[in-house]
Chain A
Amino acid sequence: MSYKKPEIVAAPFDFKGINKTLLKTMYLRMVRAREFEEQLYYLFLSTPMPGTMHQATGQEAVAVGVASALNEDDYVTSNHRGHGHCIAKDVQLDVMMAEMFARRNGVCKGMGGSMHLCDFNRGMLGAFGIVGAGIPIATGAALSSVVRGTNQVAVSFFGDGAINEGVFHEALNMAALWKLPVVYVIENNQYALSMPNELVSAVTDLSTRGSSYGIPGQTIDGNNVTAVYKAAKKAVDSARAGKGPFLLECITYRMRGHARFEPASYRNKEEVAQWEKFDPIQRFKHALLEEGKLTEADFSAIDEQVEKEIEQAIAFAEAGEHVGAQDYLRYIYEDQTLVGGVA
């Protein structure tokens, strides 16, 4: 079994045109995403946190790089592995954490949980457990932007597994046909649960998968936040200018199993160790230090800030009321009296 080795796509960091504030923000968002999920892992072990979760450890540069190229009112759709997409779009940790604990003060009132985290105030239009479902939905948000004349761009994040769902092709065709302002981001973390892409895709150069629809694509180092940011910015700017969709394949690696406690025994330790050396946060940090962009003091300040935010988020969640037995009734229809039932 072969997998994509990090060396194949590893690109040097390029800080040109990225100011210090944005660099700090990128680092902050990546550390937030990492630490939030690491903390969740321990909270699952040590508290009665319900349900499950899918960690995106090692993939933080994709979400953060792309979201950094977006305006606040641009749209994003996400998937089951979506904590990082939310954090990249600046959804607050406290309401995310409360959602994980199924509390009423959660961002989805405790009705969605880890797999459906979304925040419409931040342009997060939903996280879908059906892995390709967000692809046409983001495309529809882009169509809506055209009809309403608002100049907003939509981004759909999905994995290498999702590109084999039919809606990928249906949506890409319509987006290209109508030149919609949408950017499709494949987070190629190399495994669809247990399946490496070469065992499920006839063509494994995924950024070419839009070529039947005339959609340009690019494969990039997904563990390099500046590379992701620059490629995304180009794609987003072009989409916003009315030039149509773009397909961005970000090569990365899922450092954890598919879901909580899934040991990923279908891959070998050597492979994981190789990718560990290309950890997107450590790489970014070293490059920033080397280039003198940020100092150890900057990193410590950010690390401390995140630690504090997570502590506060846990406190916020613990202070929230538990979801009640009848809560769900409020969210089936706008008008609760429509629920009906024989009982």
Chain B
Amino acid sequence: MRQLTLSEAMREAMIQEMEADERVILMGEDVGRFNGAFGVSQGMLDKFGPKRVWDTPISEAGFMGIGIGAALTGLRPIIEFQYADFMFCAMDQIVNEAAKLRLMSGGQASVPLVIRAPQGATGRAAQHSQSVEAYFMHTPGLLVAMPATPYDAKGLMTSAMRMNDPVLILEHKLLYGAASPGGGKALSDNTISDIGSDVPQESYIIPFGQAIIRKEGADVTLIGTLVMMHRALAVAFELEKEGISCEVIDPRTIVPLDEETILNSVRKTNRVVLVSEDVERGGVCAELSALIMAKAFDYLDAPVVTVSAKNSPVPFGPASEKEVIPQYDDIKDAVHRVLRDD
């Protein structure tokens, strides 16, 4: 089968859906003339013209609101934020309007739009590096997907464009692939594999709320998204050599969350390591821990171990960035810890 990078897969999803459904438009900073800051929308302005691909001013709250207005009146906008950090400029429109309109209007309003935003630490310092998922997991009314592979990117994006609620797709800059800025670094990061690079040509969907077991195992359950899934998987394959059998779960969407796949795995392995690139305090690992405590406490042979980013803005200096962001060794140590603790 064809192999695509994540950014190629994402682009193919958008192009195919825009060809099939004239209601789909793309908006954002530099998405047209510049092909998107990470090249994801390459060639789309030429292909679809300026009424379908809108290069916006640097006005995140403004174009987010415009996207909502368009979504309320018959279009299905894709809104690209150049960096996930920039979504904070549009927080009111995302949280108070997009996410609340269906409920406030008693179900009259649908806000069928997709927000795409690249996140994650890649040496770009504090305002271009944050992993933002916890803010939006905390926002009822939004759906949140985190595709870690090209296959998932295409399938989840296609799903998202067909849903009638606002969806946030968080992409990781290190996962875009060789063709995009940052891609070169990704290739030098040997914890990132090319799993899920086989992407069918034809359009397909991956339903939200279906986690995937990346590797089956018996001793410990590892749960992570985006780059942390790749690192957890690399750890799992390495530990196999030590005779430790790890199961690796990629939730793929964190809202909705596939609780069954997670809980079934916990019931089987009885030990859990949660990994996330967002910060520890009030973060995704805390949420998953609460779920496991509430619904699988009796199955646990050891306290849940979490590996999250330190409670800090992402610093620039490489040594500090590395310290703040969970690394391969941090995950490996965590697995050893959860196995020691009886």
The answer for the CA separation of A328 and B52 in the assembled complex, in Å, is 35
Smallest CB–CB gap between B139 and chain A, Å? Answer: 11
Closest residue on chain B to residue A333 by CB atoms = B165
Which of B108, B143, B257, B290 contacts A333, CB < 8 Å? B143
Q: Are A171 and B92 in contact (CB under 8 A)?
A: no
For residue B97, which residues in chain A have a CB less than 8 angstroms away from its CB? Answer: 126, 128, 130, 133, 137
Q: Among the listed stretches B54-62, B186-194, B218-226, B329-337, which one makes contact with chain A, having 4 or more residues with CB under 8 Å of it? A: B54-62
Whether a CB of chain A sits under 8 angstroms from the CB of B182 is no
The answer for the CA separation of A332 and B103 in the assembled complex, in Å, is 5
Smallest CB–CB gap between B265 and chain A, Å? Answer: 17
30 chain-A/chain-B pairs, Cβ below 8 angstroms: A77-B69, A110-B106, A111-B103, A111-B105, A125-B72, A129-B96, A130-B97, A136-B69, A137-B65, A139-B62, A140-B65, A140-B66, A140-B73, A141-B70, A141-B72, A144-B75, A146-B51, A148-B75, A169-B62, A170-B59, A171-B62, A177-B57, A331-B107, A332-B102, A333-B102, A334-B102, A334-B165, A340-B255, A340-B259, A342-B294
A interface footprint on B60-88 (CB within 8 Å = 1, 0 otherwise): 01111111111111110000000000000
For residue A133, which residues in chain B have a CB less than 8 angstroms away from its CB? Answer: 65, 92-93, 96-97
For residue B208, which residues in chain A have a CB less than 8 angstroms away from its CB? Answer: 338
Whether a CB of chain A sits under 8 angstroms from the CB of B256 is yes
Smallest CB–CB gap between B292 and chain A, Å? Answer: 9
Q: Are A147 and B106 in contact (CB under 8 A)?
A: no
For residue A325, which residues in chain B have a CB less than 8 angstroms away from its CB? Answer: none
Q: Are B96 and A130 in contact (CB under 8 A)?
A: yes
For residue B256, which residues in chain A have a CB less than 8 angstroms away from its CB? Answer: 337-338, 340
Q: Are B72 and A342 in contact (CB under 8 A)?
A: no
Whether a CB of chain B sits under 8 angstroms from the CB of A320 is no
Which of B59, B108, B295 contacts A174, CB < 8 Å? B59
> Size of chain A's interface in residues, with CB distance under 8 A?
55
For window 115-173 of A, CB contacts with B under 8 Å fall at 116, 118-120, 125-126, 128-130, 133, 135-148, 152, 154, 166-167, 169-171, 173
Q: Among the listed stretches A101-109, A195-203, A271-279, which one makes contact with chain B, having 4 or more residues with CB under 8 Å of it? A: A101-109
Q: Are A140 and B72 in contact (CB under 8 A)?
A: yes
Q: Are A136 and B65 in contact (CB under 8 A)?
A: yes
Closest residue on chain B to residue A125 by CB atoms = B72
Whether a CB of chain A sits under 8 angstroms from the CB of B178 is no
Q: How many A-B residue pairs have CB under 8 A?
A: 174
The answer for the CA separation of A159 and B167 in the assembled complex, in Å, is 31
Q: Are A116 and B165 in contact (CB under 8 A)?
A: no
Whether a CB of chain A sits under 8 angstroms from the CB of B302 is no
Closest residue on chain B to residue A142 by CB atoms = B69
Interface residues on B, range: 35 or more
Inter-chain pairs besides A125-B109, A144-B70, 18 sampled, C-beta below 8 Å = A77-B69, A112-B105, A116-B104, A116-B105, A118-B108, A129-B96, A136-B62, A136-B69, A137-B65, A137-B69, A140-B70, A146-B51, A154-B69, A166-B62, A170-B57, A334-B165, A340-B255, A342-B291
Whether a CB of chain A sits under 8 angstroms from the CB of B141 is yes
Q: Are B105 and A136 in contact (CB under 8 A)?
A: no
B interface footprint on A317-343 (CB within 8 Å = 1, 0 otherwise): 000000000001011111001111011
Whether a CB of chain A sits under 8 angstroms from the CB of B318 is no
The answer for the CA separation of A120 and B97 in the assembled complex, in Å, is 15
**B residues neighboring A (CB under 8 Å):** 25, 51-52, 54, 56-57, 59, 61-75, 92-93, 96-97, 101-110, 140-141, 143, 163-165, 208-209, 255-257, 259, 290-291, 294-295
For residue B93, which residues in chain A have a CB less than 8 angstroms away from its CB? Answer: 133, 136, 167
The answer for the CA separation of A148 and B70 in the assembled complex, in Å, is 10
Smallest CB–CB gap between A341 and chain B, Å? Answer: 9
Smallest CB–CB gap between A148 and chain B, Å? Answer: 6
Q: Are B70 and A108 in contact (CB under 8 A)?
A: no
Q: Are A328 and B103 in contact (CB under 8 A)?
A: yes
Whether a CB of chain B sits under 8 angstroms from the CB of A75 is yes
The answer for the CA separation of A25 and B140 in the assembled complex, in Å, is 41
For residue A147, which residues in chain B have a CB less than 8 angstroms away from its CB? Answer: 25, 51-52, 70, 75
Which of A116, A137, A145 contacts B68, CB < 8 Å? A137
For residue A144, which residues in chain B have a CB less than 8 angstroms away from its CB? Answer: 69-70, 72-75
For residue B259, which residues in chain A have a CB less than 8 angstroms away from its CB? Answer: 340
For residue B25, which residues in chain A have a CB less than 8 angstroms away from its CB? Answer: 147
B interface footprint on A77-105 (CB within 8 Å = 1, 0 otherwise): 10000000000000000000000000000
Smallest CB–CB gap between A336 and chain B, Å? Answer: 11
Q: Are A120 and B141 in contact (CB under 8 A)?
A: no
Which of B70, B92, B101, B209 contacts A126, CB < 8 Å? B101
- Most chain A C-beta atoms within 10 Å of own C-beta, residue among B54, B97, B164, B259: B97
Smallest CB–CB gap between B44 and chain A, Å? Answer: 15
Which of B56, B66, B163 contacts A334, CB < 8 Å? B163
Smallest CB–CB gap between A182 and chain B, Å? Answer: 9
For residue A116, which residues in chain B have a CB less than 8 angstroms away from its CB? Answer: 104-105
